[in-house]
Structure 1
């Protein structure tokens, strides 16, 4: 039996459960075992299993019936109107962030202090290790982006970023749960290049890399019709 690695959490458990579903262990409409049964089978605790089930329910694969349990509803994530609205809202937020962060990255490259750069690198390192759960990934990613904006020395840009970050957090978490997309080394390397440009005081490159990253994220959110989304923002 395949088990979840000890350091893995709910998103890995959700993927393993989905693999079992797609291998045909349960038929559409069939009731699944409870958390206390599935958890030990996948090598995770009850709370982690509950979160994994919630993720698959958010994708339309599982459905909860009050007092009856969890039932299999579909074999693949469902693209519905709610997901479309969510995708549109995130795209609008990303467009605003694109304007803010591309300018902030250029200013951060020109103005950052040693303390600013230390905070940015600390946030980058944290982002690399916080991959266990989707909320932790989103929060660590946001902290890195904010540290760069703060290094711009412009409090208005930081205030604007905080406004969009607060509005986008729950939406990004929902989108990542719908897609089941894991954090990737490539995505981390994209952020490392932005940080390196800031550290090198190359405002033009820092701005261009930030713009390219957020543009690609926005385009993926708008253009992916299969319910997927990039790992981070």
Structure 2
């Protein structure tokens, strides 16, 4: 399939898509060294800088890899699956195992690093969780799950690590979807509209007191209990 010249508008996107097609359709198999930037620029009718940006985009998609002093090689014929997509299709038990590891460590750090503003945010989030469970909207599982996730997000934020915060933000949409299903599947609110209130209150108290081991232990027990329920159902 000939490359062909491109139209003069968003050229980087067009160049990226054109080169991606060559790779995904098998024109350049895995292990093939791509033509040099000059050759690609000439074939596509664009500048070298456009080709360079297109190759960076393809590298980010996991299709090509630059090798110092050798050139750019095809390393896959299908784009790498992005992290949010991987999370969406992951088993809930796998997601929860990682959640346990991430959040328990975050709870310990939160207790060690919390500020007065963090404590205030945690107390507000705890009250909001209780209100969502027992207030006028008590029968709304989605509202309860949203309030629960907001409390956990406040704990992670109090850890003061932006990477942890970003990681939790990636998990949150998947957790929300799965937790709403989980509440219904396990009947978690049939006998207690506010399940886990005591443990969440203990978590907030441990962070407020600066007791890292206690915060970690309380949250681990809470999450491990849910994980055990999940494993028993799958």
Same fold at TM > 0.5 = yes
Query: Which of these residues, 208, 221, 224, is aligned with residue 215 of structure 1?
Result: 224
- Cα distance in 2 for partners of 1:180, 1:197 equals 28
Shift of 1:178: 3.0
**Separation in structure 2 between the aligned mates of residue 216 and residue 162 of structure 1, nearest angstrom:** 23
Aligned residues: 139
Give the conservation status (yes or no) of the 8 Å contact 1:90–1:172. Answer: no
- State the alpha-carbon separation in 2 of the partners of residues 110 and 180 from structure 1: 35
Aligned to 2:104: 102
**TM-score, reference length from structure 1:** 0.56
- Relative contact order higher in (CA < 8 Å, ≥ 6 apart): 1
Structure 1 unaligned spans of 5+ = 1-85, 226-233
CA RMSD of aligned residues (A): 1.8
Structure 2 residue runs of 5 or longer lacking an equivalent are 1-87
CA shift for structure 1 position 218: 0.6
Matched position secondary structure for 2:160:
coil
SS of the residue 1:153 aligns to: coil
Partner of 2:199: 190
3-state SS in 2 of match to 1:166? helix
Alpha-carbon distance, 1:180 to partner: 3.5
User: Larger C-alpha radius of gyration, 1 or 2?
Assistant: 2
Residue in structure 1 matched with residue 74 of structure 2 by the alignment: none
TM-score, scaled relative to structure 2 = 0.56
| CA distance in 1 between partners of 2:105 and 2:198 (Å) | 21
